[in-house]
Structure 1
Amino acid sequence: MSPLSVRGGPSSSLKRWLKSPAARWTLYFVALCPAAWWFWLGAQNRLGADPVRAFEEFLGLWAYRFLLASLLITPLRIAFSINLIVYRRVLGLLCFSYAVMHVLAYLALDLRFDFRIFGDDITKRPFLVFGMLTLLCLSPLALTSTNGAIRRLGRNWKKLHRLAYVALVTASVHFLMAFKTWHTDAALFVAFGMFLLIFRGVRSFQNPKRRRVA
């Protein structure tokens, strides 16, 4: 038997740690470091000719990445028996955190907290409309991510958290519309998001009982 397979050995200790709250907090801390680093680069005027736009796009991209990562948890478990369910909540909260920072950067750095312009923008500029719809979808998911909220909502918690797929659609539209020309990387990210959406749809169609319970 391999030493790493012995009960209580290094492998067992690592697995226990990976499932612990400490591992999740570590992930949250590490995942927020890029935002802090880019903020510092911006403060040092090292983000290029348009630092505000670069910072906003960076935050938005990471919000979208974490949304995709959170929705990838179930396909990984079903297709490859890789169970990372303990990290789904953290990934969802990271998505929300970066989305909030994305909006705050736009509001603070672009508009200088001019809420009149902000109100006009989010109602008249289509790509911003989809961006705010995404934030509206993510907000109740973040607010109901606690154990207490899960207990209180019961089965309704799963129904509410289907909003993540609505957020995926609105975020994808926002992401694509943010670029004035064809952007290959954005298209690839959105294509992967659509794959996750189709996977969910096929899974629900194949398991109608599961759909009624969820």
Structure 2
Amino acid sequence: MTKDYSINMFKPGLKVIIFNQPCIIQNSKFVKPGKGQAFARVKFKSIITGKIVETTFKSTDRLQKANVYDISSIYLYNDHKLWYFMNSKTFEEISIKKNILNSKRFFLTPQCKCILTLWKNNIISVILDNFVYLKVIKTTPSIKKKSLNSSGIKLAVLNTGISIKVPDFIKVDDIIKVDTRTCEYISRV
């Protein structure tokens, strides 16, 4: 049995099917003008692509519930073709292809916790913690900024293989905090 939602049921966090794919509502504003039909302005994010779209729905429109569910898991290892996770409750091993992980694979370290999102029995998304701690294994020479007050920046290669910009004072073997959403250096640990 599928459940439909009317516009007065829209709220942030609700998972619905829009344009034949699962999306999560980020913001919804119900508008009842003095003249004419009521409507809702909805901002939603595609769970698969991450694309954010804003659209308007009439008061008679309904959206289908997205049969999406999350699995708490632990990252185990990879063989450069598949990345392997373990379901935290059933201890079942789950493999994910590189194209689903995209750049998130550079933030996975053994035993890190993440959430796998499934739709139609296929993994469509991997949700990581907002911040991870990674080790610097290589740095490049500093690139000086034009300002006298600011320090230089340089590229650092981290133990997962990703390169990010870091301040000049970061050295090899330092542990740094990285934002997984923006791929930016936050601080030295």
**Structure of greater Rg:** 2
Q: Which has the higher strand share?
A: 2
Instruction: Give the TM-score normalised by structure 2.
Output: 0.23
Greater length-normalized contact order (CA 8 Å, ≥ 6 residues apart): 1
Instruction: Give the TM-score normalised by structure 1.
Output: 0.21
